[in-house]
Chains A and B, each alone.
Chain A
Amino acid sequence: MFGRWPLTSRVLVRVGLVTLLFVVVQQTLMLDLRVGGVHPDIMILLPIVAGLVGGPSRGAWMGFATGLVADLFLPTPFGLSALVATMLGYAVGVATLALDRTAVWLPVVAALAGSALYELVYGVLGSVLGQPQMLHVDLVRVIAVVSITNAVLAIPAMGLVTWALPAASTEGVPTSPLSSGVAR
């Protein structure tokens, strides 16, 4: 189960390839690209864009999977990225249900706001989970660097995720007058 469509091997391979590409870019280019001691985090883009392309469930699934992958390379508690990214993917999917998902500005704004929200929740949750140092960082700077970078990269990321996932989801989106009722 992966949202409302079956998880075919083609989808798996494509999602795997896109995730691998993001991991490689994150672990090489992005780690060297530091602004004021802070580096971008493009892994957050995947659940955001998946939430936009496929709706809440797919956003949540993508967040869980990519979060676990990201956790492999982080010194913070294992599973924390997965938890926050799951909620982020879902939130983006729900928040954009009523919006025109084809609007060009939407991925940029979603990446900007989603990344800021992610970093904030990540720091707070980490602190709650016994990592108080996670609130000792310059959170404003982290949010600024990560959000702006992700906003810039949102459009190409959207293209990649759209390629990886099957045709756009209609999850929660009325597709006809009949389907806009309570049951679908």
Chain B
Amino acid sequence: MAPPRRYRRPRTTLLILVLASVTIITLDARGGFHRITSGVRSVAADAFSPIRGGIDDIIEPVGSFLAGSVHYGAVRQQNQKLQDELDQLRTQQVSQQEVLQQMKQLTALLHLPFLQNLQTVPAVVTDFGTSDFASTIDISVGRNQGVQLNMPVVGTSGAAGQGGLVGQVVQRNDDSATVRLITDGQSAVGVRYGSSANSLAVLTGQGSGKALSADLVPSNTPLVDGDVFYTSGLPGASYPTGIPVARVVAHRNGLTSAQETVSLEPEADLVHLRYVSVILWGPSA
């Protein structure tokens, strides 16, 4: 039996719109059209960049004011004057620590040992991902600073580490860019490990906050926790050679499998990223 007439039209509308969406997704995934969507996304990001900045500038003082008001109410019951002074000192201490931390990160970023003669552009991390379904960051440099698609991005370590690979530029706008982190499920990095030049593997992301996984590591490979995997730099690779990517945190002999199960933590501190460096390098360079 045919559906009542009143339902036909909404269903036709739904069908048309679903087909349109599927067509857009298909075209976007197949080359040519992707350039157009990428360009439109870039324009949208450029247009929104000043709005974001402006609104952040407005919100920050308001947030500070509100936080201050709440704090004021609590300290009033005690000794207001002394508490205010204490708060001031604490704030100073925190901000000094923050400045010191920032200086430390910047200094470390300028002296990353593995960069050698590679030309870099420093950048501030402006946002941690616009989607809950992908591990990306937004940075403050773009096309105008020489940033191109697929350029590698590096950062410092939280502790005494030497820093390492952060990800790859996947979208560049005039003065900003989006970087896909190595922990993203779409990320795959060709790496070298151990002393042999033939020990090659691929590190794949498993999602934000999760350890990386190594593919193609043969079973019973003598690995030690703490072993560092470096970018392979094979011809045509997406990254220059010798950049630390991740450190082994767990490995298990695959008794029945041909591969070792290896979990690795990124060398760069991806959780507390404030500054990064974009390496002005492409596979053809």
Q: A: which residues have CB within 8 A of B?
A: 1, 3-4, 23-24, 27-29, 31-32, 34, 37-39, 41, 55-57, 60-61, 63-64, 67-68, 72-80, 82-83, 86-87, 90, 93-94, 119, 122-123, 126, 129-134, 136-137, 142, 146, 171-172, 182-184
Please tell me if the beta carbons of A86 and B17 are within 8 angstroms of each other in the complex.
yes
B24 touches A78 (CB 8 A): yes
Q: Which residue of A lies closest to B187 (CB)?
A: A133
Q: Is the interface of B mostly helix, strand, loop or mixed?
A: helix
Q: Which residues of A contact B136 (CB under 8 A)?
A: 75
- Write the nearest CB–CB distance from A85 to chain B, whole angstroms: 9
CB–CB B41/A73 < 8 A: yes
CB atoms of A76 and B10 under 8 A apart? no
Tell whether B84 is near chain A: CB-to-CB under 8 Å.
no
Which residue of the partner chain, among B7, B9, B18, B133, contacts A83 with CB atoms under 8 Å? B18
Instruction: Say yes or no for B158: interface residue by CB 8 A criterion.
Output: no
A29 to B132, CA, bound (A): 15
User: Is A132 within 8 A of B55, CB to CB?
Assistant: no
Query: Which A residues lie within 8 Å of B23 (CB)?
Result: 79
Range class of the B interface residue count:
35 or more
**B93 within 8 Å of A by Cβ?**
no
Contact A56-B207, Cβ < 8 Å, known A122-B133, A132-B185:
no
Please determine whether A79 and B185 come into contact, CB atoms closer than 8 angstroms. Answer: no
- Cα distance A56–B14 when bound, in Å? 8
- SS of A interface (majority): helix
Do B13 and A60 touch (CB < 8 A)?
A: yes
The listed residue (A24, A28, A136, A172) touching B7 by CB distance below 8 A is: A172
- 6 A-B contacts (beta carbon < 8 Å): A41-B132, A57-B13, A77-B28, A83-B18, A122-B133, A172-B10
B127 and A61 contacting across the interface, CB-CB below 8 Å:
no
Of the residues B44, B59, B130, B184, contact of A133 by C-beta under 8 Å = B184
Cα A27 to Cα B17 in complex, Å, equals 25
User: Contacts of A171 on B, CB cut-off 8 Å?
Assistant: 6, 10
Interface string of B186-212 (1 = CB under 8 A from A): 100000000000000000011111100
Neighbour of A72 across the interface among B4, B21, B44, B206, CB < 8 A: B44
Q: Are A137 and B10 in contact (CB under 8 A)?
A: no
Q: Is the CB of A64 within 8 A of B17?
A: yes
B45 CB within 8 Å of chain A: yes
